[in-house]
């Protein structure tokens, strides 16, 4: 029996439904990627933007959800919260890594999570450029391009490659992560800035990164990747409640050392 065969038929059907909507939405992203005519709009500042590709991807996903799961609630980055009261809620980021995407940088993805009674039960992340998917069902492991995902067995911070990000209010709020970066940088092999929280979390799950932290995320940034990282064996903390979602994910052998530098 393969690990995926432990999924119930209902779980397999749900995963296939999510895969279908993500792949259809990805065609919109591919069509607009690196277009010289891409429409880009500010969402309150020059650092927080939305493109026509975000909106087109979201439309595909929402149409699928309204058709197949009409009684479920939805929280999506561009449309917001539909404020429905339901046992199940879909949490959608139709384009995570919009700044990358708008600049023609290929690190971006679609992130879809399903919560039941507030608990994330399914996480799915699809990166169109490399045609890579990452997914997890709570209690049944995480999976990626090469099968079952497992965090890297690293116990030495000095050998770690870590990623991070910066909040949109970085220019006006001194609580902008620069102090933590200054403390971490000398202690690790390298720091990377991927520009997509969902992909950061999936790369920790896959063992391609040893750890990741970021401030001021939203639920649609974190929900799917967080479950995938947890199911792959990562130590995951939401460690503050005063600056959006502040999250750390790391292989257990370095998690406490990394946390001590950023807390």
88-96/73-76 β-pairing: parallel
DSSP helix/strand/coil, 34: coil
Q: 157-262 has which CATH code?
A: 3.40.190.80
Task: Give the pLDDT score at 148.
Answer: 97
CB 112 within 8 A of CB 24: no
Residue 212's DSSP bridge partners are 163, 249
CATH 3.30.365.10 fits 4-148, yes or no: no
Q: How far, in Å, CA of 221 to CA of 201, rounded?
A: 10
pTM for this entry: 0.96
Beta-carbon neighbour count of residue 129 at 10 Å? 15
Residue 62 tokens, joined: 């929402």
pLDDT range class, residue 2, cuts 50, 70, 90: low
Nearest by Cα to 228 from 153, 128, 123, 152: 123
Pair of tokens at residue 121: 């039960």
Which ranges in the chain belong to alpha helices (H)?
9-32, 52-68, 98-103, 178-184, 197-206, 219-231, 252-262
Per-residue pLDDT, averaged over 219-237, amounts to 98
DSSP letter at 233? T
User: What does the mean pLDDT of the chain come to?
Assistant: 95
Among candidate residues 111, 110, 129, 124, the one with its CA nearest the CA of residue 33: 129
Q: Please answer whether residues 121 and 137 qualify as being in contact, where contact means their C-beta atoms are separated by less than 8 angstroms.
A: yes
Q: Please identify which residue in the block is written with the tokens 């679609």.
A: 110
Cα distance between residue 28 and residue 235, in whole Å: 34
140: how many CB neighbours lie within 10 A of its CB? Answer: 15
Number of H helices, E strands in the chain: 7, 15
Express as a percent the part of the chain with pLDDT over 70: 98
Distance CA 33, CA 51 (A): 10
What are the tens digits of pLDDT across the range 40-88? 999 888 888 899 999 999 999 999 999 999 999 999 999 888 888 899 9
Domain boundaries, the chain: 4-148, 157-262
Write down the residue that tokens 């870590």 correspond to. Answer: 162
User: Parallel, antiparallel, or unpaired for β 109-116 and 80-81?
Assistant: unpaired
Three-state DSSP class for 135? strand
Partners of residue 74 on adjacent β-strands: 90
Query: Is the pLDDT at 217 greater than 60, yes or no?
Result: yes
CA distances from 250 to 141, 143, 160, 173, 183 (A): 16, 17, 10, 26, 17
Q: Give the residue from 58, 147, 43, 145 showing the smallest Cα distance to 96.
A: 58
pLDDT band per the 50, 70, 90 thresholds, residue 3: low
Q: Model confidence over 99-118: pLDDT tens digits?
A: 999 999 999 999 999 999 99
**pLDDT of 171-194, one tens digit each?**
888 899 999 999 999 999 999 999
- Residue corresponding to tokens 């199911």: 231
């Amino acid at each position: 029996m393969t690990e995926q065969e432990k999924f119930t038929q209902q779980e397999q059907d749900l995963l296939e439904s999510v895969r279908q909507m993500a792949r259809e939405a990805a065609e919109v992203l591919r069509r607009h990627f690196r277009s010289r005519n891409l429409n880009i709009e500010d969402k309150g500042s020059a650092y927080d933007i939305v493109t026509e590709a975000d909106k087109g991807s979201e439309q595909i996903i929402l149409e699928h959800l309204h058709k197949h799961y009409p009684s479920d609630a939805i929280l999506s980055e561009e449309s917001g919260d539909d404020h429905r009261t339901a046992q199940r809620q879909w949490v959608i980021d139709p384009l995570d890594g919009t700044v990358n995407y708008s600049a023609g940088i290929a690190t971006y993805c679609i992130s879809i999570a399903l919560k039941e009674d507030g608990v994330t039960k399914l996480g799915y992340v699809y990166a169109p450029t490399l045609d890579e998917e990452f997914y997890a069902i709570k209690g049944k492991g995480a999976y990626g391009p090469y099968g079952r995902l497992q965090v890297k067995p690293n116990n030495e911070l000095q050998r770690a490659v870590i990623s991070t990000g910066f909040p949109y209010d970085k220019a006006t709020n001194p609580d902008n992560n620069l102090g933590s970066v200054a403390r971490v940088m000398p202690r690790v092999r390298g720091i990377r800035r991927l520009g997509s929280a969902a992909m950061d979390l999936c790369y920790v799950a896959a063992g391609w990164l040893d750890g990741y932290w970021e401030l001021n995320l939203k639920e649609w940034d974190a929900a799917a990747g967080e479950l995938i990282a947890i199911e792959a064996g990562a130590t995951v903390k939401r460690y503050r409640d005063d600056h959006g979602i502040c999250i750390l994910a790391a292989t257990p052998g370095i998690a406490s050392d990394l946390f001590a530098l950023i807390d």
